[in-house]
Amino acid sequence: MYDSEDLYDDKEQYSGPSRSQKKRDMIALQDLAERLMKLSPELVKKCGLPDYFITEVLDAISMTSHEARRRQTQYLGKLMRDMDSRPLIDFLDDIEDGNRKDNKKFHQLEKWRDSLVEGDMSILDELLEIYPDADRQRLAQLARNAKKEKAQNKPPKASRALFKALRELSEAK
């Protein structure tokens, strides 16, 4: 009656992505739009996307109604279907990676400052290895002043000055 080869044809034709895959792709684009909407308007303008899209993102940022933002996010996802999203993903990753690097750098500066204020002058040797142009005497004086202020429960003016000097060192490199 039926030929077994006709029933189990191994040559199925690809009919495009499944409905589930299309939905996953759309949700990914909406997530991308939400990440973009968290940026400041100045950064959104620098993302390198078409002007009509940037206008829609800026409109979405200014919306206060939750439902309006949700609909606008869906619309942005729909607009991104026709665009190459790779440059936008790279742009957002660079910004977020830069923020992580800045936070890590900031915490390292705080750690050095706190160690110097506590009296650990071996940190100066470490700093001079990393930053050979650093002024050892100035940093030591700022650390002593900050330690003295802390002991007298005064406002941390010298501690702030020490942090500023450390930040300037790290930015000069």
Same domain as 47, residue 100: no
User: What is the per-residue pLDDT for 9?
Assistant: 55
Number of domains in the chain: 2
Containing structural domain, residue 50: 19-83
Same domain as 108, residue 163: yes
User: What is the per-residue pLDDT for 31?
Assistant: 92
Among the three residues 54, 83, 112, which one is the final residue of a domain in this structure? 83
Q: Which residues of the chain have pLDDT under 70?
A: 1-12, 173
Whether 141 maps to a domain, the answer reads yes
CATH number at 30 reads 1.10.60.30
Whether 11 maps to a domain, the answer reads no
User: What is the per-residue pLDDT for 87?
Assistant: 85
Left if phi > 0, otherwise alpha if psi is -120 to 50, otherwise beta: which for 85? alpha
User: What is the per-residue pLDDT for 3?
Assistant: 54
Same domain as 133, residue 65: no
Among the three residues 83, 118, 139, which one is the final residue of a domain in this structure? 83
Q: Is the pTM value of this prediction over 0.75?
A: no
